[in-house]
Amino acid sequence: MPARNDPPYAAPDAAGRFGSYGGRFVAETLAHALEALTSLYETLRDDAGFRQALAEDLSSYVGRPTPLYLAQRLTAQVGGAKLYLKREDLNHTGAHKINNTVGQALLAKRMGKPRVIAETGAGQHGVATATVAARLGLECRVFMGATDIERQRLNVYRMELLGAEVVAVESGSRTLKDAMNEAMRDWVTNVDTTHYIIGSVAGPHPYPMMVRDFQAVIGQESRAQCLEAEGRLPDLLVACVGGGSNAMGLFHPFLDDAGVDMVGVEAAGLGLATNRHAAPLNAGSPGVLHGQHTYLMQTDDGQIMETHSVSAGLDYPGVGPEHSHLKDLGRVRYAAATDAEALAAFRTLNRAEGIMPALESSHAVAWAMQEAARRPASDIIIVNLSGRGDKDIDVVAGLGGDSAP
């Protein structure tokens, strides 16, 4: 077996701190619900019955394990390191988001809460939440920025078909951060009956830890699949980072493998120099938003900035606190890909492999292609293909993606 770090990486602490990041910066009304959720989760995560129920759902309902696919034509086209794609797009509902919602739905059931709420950006988390709610007979309300509703209509319709109520959020920048504000307002009002299924490794403790644990199945499978296929661990992991759940899920099981490099790819939007991006780890500074201390896009006065990305799922001014910690530790490097680079990668992967990635995942593909070209053919790169791109067809067509050569 490959060498592992000793002592192993261990975070967060009991207060939900990843180094100086994380914590629980919420209105007092939510304090008890978060304590109760933490305590229940800490009991259940080691409970054999719970683990088995989760494993069965992941296998029989979500469709796991997902393949680790060697993209041979893409590798040949790029001309460098071997590119593997972790096919989270093949999960039920088309993205990694359901790994988490299946787990949190089991928690909601255990807590006896008949209602779940969620925020969503691209709509993938909203669909994943509406799906598990339908399956378990839970009432479901999803908050979505009005701007995102415009650009992700397909997912809005899917959520409604699943029986969820989709609430358009008109405040602020009308995107993911505002949807999260509105979800917090709903939760504070209905906290006795409602579980808030946060969709990323973000928010107050225990969400960053809990969502990471639910998503870590991505990295656990990838690790075993790479050892099986190649007889060794990969040299590099690449994943896109908005809130950062698909990246955290892939990275976490490898954190003690010193030989495995990791790169999170943020949304550079129109370019990091333009201020029209969503790259807090590249161009932001630490602050407090949505219950967590983490890197944020903020003004000199501490107001949260409006962000821009072609992909709704990355259009968020914060990032999960564990990513902030891993950045400061230097364990993970955070790069960025522009809208244009992501769109080009979207087209390339369609033509080279017959796979349509989500625009979010396209950011990771774009950066990984550039990096693979700089590396020898003996290197192995795993790219997390976090979701499929059907939802993005209208956006891509609107930007001229249909006229690609």
Under rule CB under 8 A, residue 381 binds another protein: no
H or E element at residue 139: strand 139-145
Any contact of residue 1 with another protein (CB under 8 A)? no
> Residue 271 is encoded by which pair of tokens?
């370019």
Stretch that binds another protein, among 151-159, 266-274, 281-289, 366-374 (CB under 8 A): 281-289
Contact 360, 122 (CB under 8 A): yes
Q: Could you say which of 82, 86, 88, 97 is catalytic?
A: 97
CB of 154 to another protein, least distance (A): 28
Catalytic (active site) residue 171: no
- By CB under 8 A, what part of segment 285-314 binds another protein? 287-291, 296, 298, 300-304
Instruction: State in angstroms the smallest separation of the CB of 26 from another protein.
Output: 6
Residue 28 in the binding site for another protein (CB under 8 A): yes
Strand 82-87 relative to strand 291-296: parallel, antiparallel, unpaired?
unpaired
- Is 139 among the residues known to form the active site? no
119 is catalytic: yes
Cis preceding-peptide flag for 317 (omega within 30 of 0):
no
Task: Give the 3-state secondary structure of residue 165.
Answer: strand
Of residues 402, 393, 403, the one with CA closest to residue 153: 393
Q: Is 377 in the site for another protein (CB under 8 A)?
A: no
Q: Rounded to an integer, what distance in angstroms lies between the CA atom of residue 3 and that of residue 276? A: 42
Q: How far is CA 284 from CA 273, 295, 394, in A?
A: 12, 6, 31
Binding of residue 189 to another protein (CB under 8 A): yes
Question: Which residue is catalytic, options 82, 113, 119, 362?
Answer: 119
The answer to whether residue 382 forms part of the interface with another protein (CB under 8 A) is no
Asked if 280 and 268 touch (Cβ cutoff 8 Å), the reply is no
Nearest Cα neighbor of 168 from 158, 185, 155, 156 is: 156
Task: Find where tokens 């378990």 sit.
Answer: 136
Count Cα atoms within 13 angstroms, Cβ side, for 170: 0
Tell me: does residue 185 bind another protein (CB under 8 A): yes
Choose between 34 and 250: whose C-beta lies nearer to another protein: 34
What residues between 229 and 268 interact with another protein by CB under 8 A? none
- Residues lying near another protein in the complex (CB under 8 A) are found at 15, 23-33, 171-172, 177-178, 180-181, 184-185, 188-192, 287-291, 296, 298, 300-304
Question: What are the residue numbers of the active site?
Answer: 97, 119, 386
